[in-house]
Every structure is written in structure tokens, then in C-alpha cells.
Chains A and B, each alone.
Chain A
Amino acid sequence: MKETTVPAPTEKNVPDTREETRTLKPPVDIFETDTGLVVVADLPGVDKDSIEVDVEKNILTLKACPAQNLKDDFLRQEYQLQPFFRQFQLSERVDQAGISAEMKYGVLSIHLPKVKEQQPRKIDVTVAQ
């Protein structure tokens, strides 16, 4: 699965890179199952209501806005959370209506089912006697 490193162009004549806001790229696991793809992303500090997942023109876009409990005045600061953003180019057609996502302990799992024709079909071979 190809990753699109620059945001997909949305409008004509608008440069599609040189973004003004900085974003973090969440680490992901992507694997295939018989019925589709599963994308698992670490999104610490993200509440389920601030996640946006969408598939448009075969591009999966993942956006999320994390919130930290401690904001400023650090004695020691090892990380700084920023909006998460990542895009992937999907190679197979995805059944958009069947996409589901769940969030647990800061980990987002997205299930992208393949459209029916793309799913492997098992063909029984009968032996003619």
C-alpha cells in the first residue's frame, strides 16, 4: 500500500505541499485479512470524537487532534503532541459503506472491507468420474 506523503490536492491551483501547520505522522500497522484491510494507528491523547477518517478517490485520510493534560510550565518535556495526519493510497477498491473504526486506549483500528468482487472466492473442484 502506497503512502502519499503530501496531502492529496483538493483544489486546482493550490500548492499541495508547504503546509503551514505542523503535523505528526502516527505509526501504523496495516495488514490484510480475507475480507479487507485493517489499519491500526497509535493516536495517543486523541478522543474518539476528534478523529476524522475518510476515503476519497482511493485515498485514505486520517486526521486527529490530540489533547494533552499538561499544557505548559514543564519541568521536563519529552514530547509535544500535535495534530496527527497521514494519508495512504489504497490499491484495491474499498467498500466505502462498510468502513468501520474503533478506538481503544489511544489506538485506532480501521476496517476497510474490499468490495465483493475483489474478495477471493473459493471454487470447489469437482472430479468428473
Chain B
Amino acid sequence: MTNFFWEPFQQLQAIRNEMERVFDEYNPTKRGYTRSAFLPSLGARRYPLVNIREDSDKIYVEALAPGLNPDSIEVSVLRDQLRLSGEKAPISPDIKADAWHRNERGAGRFVREITLPAEVDGDQVTAEYKNGLLLLTLAKHAEAKARQISVQVS
């Protein structure tokens, strides 16, 4: 701890940064990936968390869903509505209550509906589940694509 006395301003700045980080934890829009995902009523409709990106003809959705049984994942699309459902299985039901030290990972069934930024073609959807992340690539519907209009000069 000798540094504390020699570099007081640097240390104060570090404490300030740390406090800001603590307050950020309570800000739901900034809050990262936390365990509240599976708490009933609070987070059940927000599971899995998703990141969405689009380019001119595709929409990419990445969902944070570790530990799902891949067979249970269901993805369906209707126009611009994406529906994700599946189940995160509990590890093992026959662990005695007094054998637990910590039990923080949730488990259960989930359904989430997401409105996409454009209508998509239901036939051209690919889904890949890897390392606990579900990546969906959805092709935009032909009518939803931006069209380039050439300007006629008379």
C-alpha cells in the first residue's frame, strides 16, 4: 500500500472510477449480463438478452444463452416478429440441499418475442448455436430492402 501515499491523486481518480462503476451496476440500461435473467416476473421476458445489427439485406441477432439444450431451441419468424424459445435445464435434480455452496445460475423455460427492424423472409433464416451464443442471420424480405433508384437526367 505504499503507493497510496505517494500517488494520492492517481489513487483518488481510481476510487472515483470505481464508484462510477458501482453506480452503473444499478442503471438497468447499462447493466451488463447479470443473474436476474431468470428471476420470475422480473427478467423472464428479457431472456435471452440480444444484440441486433443490420446491414442492407440482412439482420443479425445474437442471443446470450449459455447452457441450453440445443434440441429445445425453437426459432420462428412471422413478418417482423421473431420468437425465441427453449429451455435451460437445471444441472442435476438429485443434489441434496445441504450440498450446495452457491446456486446462482438460473434454469427454466423461456420465450422471448422481438420486433425486428424490418420484415424478413422466413425461408432464409439460419441459426447457429456455439459457445452459448445463438446467432441468427435473417434475410430481409424483398420488399423491405432499400432500393437504389437511378436518377434520370433529362
Number of cross-chain contacts by CB at 8 Å: 122
Instruction: Indicate if the CB atoms of B49 and A105 lie closer than 8 Å.
Output: no
**Structural contact, A105 and B66, CB atoms closer than 8 A:** yes
- Inside 8 A of A123's CB, which chain B residues have their CB? none
> Contact at B133–A45, with CB atoms within 8 Å?
yes
**CB neighbours of B99 from chain A (8 A):** 31-33
Main DSSP-derived SS at the B contact region: mixed
Could you tell me the distance between the alpha carbons of A5 and B29 in the complex, rounded to whole angstroms?
A: 24
Q: Taking CB as reference atom, which chain B residue is nearest A78?
A: B49
Q: Is the pair A24, B32 in contact by a Cβ cutoff of 8 Å? A: yes
Q: Is A121 an interface residue (CB 8 A)?
A: no
- Residues facing B in A9-37 (CB within 8 A) are 13, 15, 18, 22, 24, 27-33, 37
CB-CB under 8 A for A28 and B105, given A18-B14, A47-B131: yes
Output the least CB separation between A43 and chain B (Å): 7
CB interface residues, A 54-99, toward B, < 8 Å: 66-70, 73-82
Other A-B pairs, 18, CB within 8 Å; known A33-B99, A82-B32: A22-B21, A29-B91, A31-B99, A31-B101, A43-B66, A43-B132, A44-B132, A44-B133, A45-B64, A45-B131, A67-B131, A69-B62, A70-B51, A74-B53, A78-B50, A80-B32, A104-B67, A106-B133
The reply to whether the CB of A107 lies closer than 8 angstroms to some CB of chain B is: yes
* Partner-B contacts on A (CB < 8 A): 1, 13, 15, 18, 22, 24, 27-33, 37, 40-47, 66-70, 73-82, 104-107
* B interface residues, tally (CB under 8 Å): 43
- In the bound complex, do residue B132 and residue A79 qualify as a contact, i.e. CB atoms below 8 Å apart? no
Q: Are A28 and B104 in contact (CB under 8 A)?
A: yes
B67 to A106, Cβ gap below 8 A? yes
Q: What residues of B have a CB within 8 angstroms of the CB of A73 in the complex?
A: 53
Given A79-B32, A106-B66, the answer on whether A1 and B131 have CB atoms closer than 8 Å is no
B53: which A residues are within 8 A, CB to CB?
70, 73-75
Of the candidates A18, A40, A75, the one whose C-beta lies within 8 Å of that of B105 is A40
Q: Which of B32, B33, B68, B101 contacts A30 (CB 8 A)?
A: B101
Inter-chain contact A106/B131, CB cutoff 8 Å: yes
Question: Interface stretch among B1-9, B119-127, B145-153?
Answer: B1-9
